[in-house]
Chains A and B, each alone.
Chain A
């Protein structure tokens, strides 16, 4: 974990989370599927957490492949 904490990718559905995970795995970008943090939402959804240092590469990898609802810093 870096000083800036973590970034999380929010999606509209679990299927999109799984699709994004596949893309990030292929691109060898470190990440973890976690429940959406309480401070962001009370939904029992899942999201993808990653190191903010990877932000540009993550955004680039997902561009045109998976629709990201939001990227939050936690």
Chain B
């Protein structure tokens, strides 16, 4: 199914949102925009979704013909605020040795499962920060130490809160990553392009 959208004069991110919505229900979307930024953003959205895009320019206006390829996802992109991809590093914050609140035994299984999937993820986090009881995951004897070490080996920076290791008397037990402080931790968190707290 094909649809045409006139997004001329609409400010970003509206053209992107219109295109994204249309792609959820149509295989071919033809959208006309009236400035370069909108054209770039719509094109990035479409390419990010695995669609093929052709652009036809007429002065400042441009018409993009977007075709959904077989197997392309439907609209699975983050909401746009003009900038589609975050520019800073991806930071994962592990604030506890369990994942989620409720049952701790279940939470420990979920955490192990989560860290395992990180080792297999195509896009690995740039930084993982462990604090509070989360530091227990990065010490000798931890069930997930091998996963954390593998992530570290693959280039992920592992920051482990020194205050927390001290509090739990685990400072000499660190098995992966580096002992860090609140300056490094807050800097990594504030400078993150994407921050995920587990």
Q: How far is the CB of A41 from chain B (nearest CB, A)?
A: 14
**Is A34 part of the contact surface with B, judged by Cβ < 8 Å?**
yes
Interface residues as binary, A13-34 with B (CB distance below 8 Å gives 1, 0 otherwise): 0100110000000000000111
* CB–CB B106/A14 < 8 A: yes
A15 to B117 Cα, complex, angstroms: 21
Supply 10 A–B pairs (Cβ within 8 Å), ascending by A: A14-B106, A18-B105, A18-B109, A33-B112, A33-B143, A34-B116, A35-B113, A35-B116, A46-B109, A46-B113
Q: Which residue of B105, B106, B117 is within 8 Å of A35 (Cβ)?
A: B117
Chain A: number of interface residues, binned into ranges: under 10
- Chain A interface (Cβ within 8 Å of chain B)? 14, 17-18, 32-35, 46
Nearest A residue to B110 via CB reads: A46
Interface residues as binary, B84-116 with A (CB distance below 8 Å gives 1, 0 otherwise): 000000000000000000000110011011001
* Besides the known contacts A18-B105, A33-B113, A35-B113, 7 further A-B residue pairs in the complex with CB atoms under 8 A apart: A17-B109, A33-B109, A33-B112, A33-B116, A33-B143, A35-B117, A46-B109
A32 to B113 Cα, complex, angstroms: 9
Residues of the B chain whose Cβ atoms lie less than 8 Å from the Cβ of A32: 116
Residues of the A chain whose Cβ atoms lie less than 8 Å from the Cβ of B110: 46
A34 to B111 Cα, complex, angstroms: 10
Q: How far is the CB of A64 from chain B (nearest CB, A)?
A: 23
Q: How far is the CB of B106 from chain A (nearest CB, A)?
A: 6
A33 to B115 Cα, complex, angstroms: 11
Residues of the B chain whose Cβ atoms lie less than 8 Å from the Cβ of A46: 109-110, 113
Residues of the A chain whose Cβ atoms lie less than 8 Å from the Cβ of B112: 33
Please provide the 5 A-B residue pairs with the shortest distance between their CB atoms, ordered closest to farther. Answer: A35-B113, A34-B116, A33-B112, A46-B113, A46-B109
Nearest A residue to B113 via CB reads: A35
Nearest A residue to B146 via CB reads: A32
Q: How far is the CB of A67 from chain B (nearest CB, A)?
A: 18
Residues of the B chain whose Cβ atoms lie less than 8 Å from the Cβ of A35: 113, 116-117
A17 to B109 Cα, complex, angstroms: 9
Q: How far is the CB of B143 from chain A (nearest CB, A)?
A: 8
Q: How far is the CB of B186 from chain A (nearest CB, A)?
A: 32
Which of B106, B110, B113 has most A Cβ within 10 Å? B113
Interface residues as binary, B104-146 with A (CB distance below 8 Å gives 1, 0 otherwise): 0110011011001100000000000000000000000001000
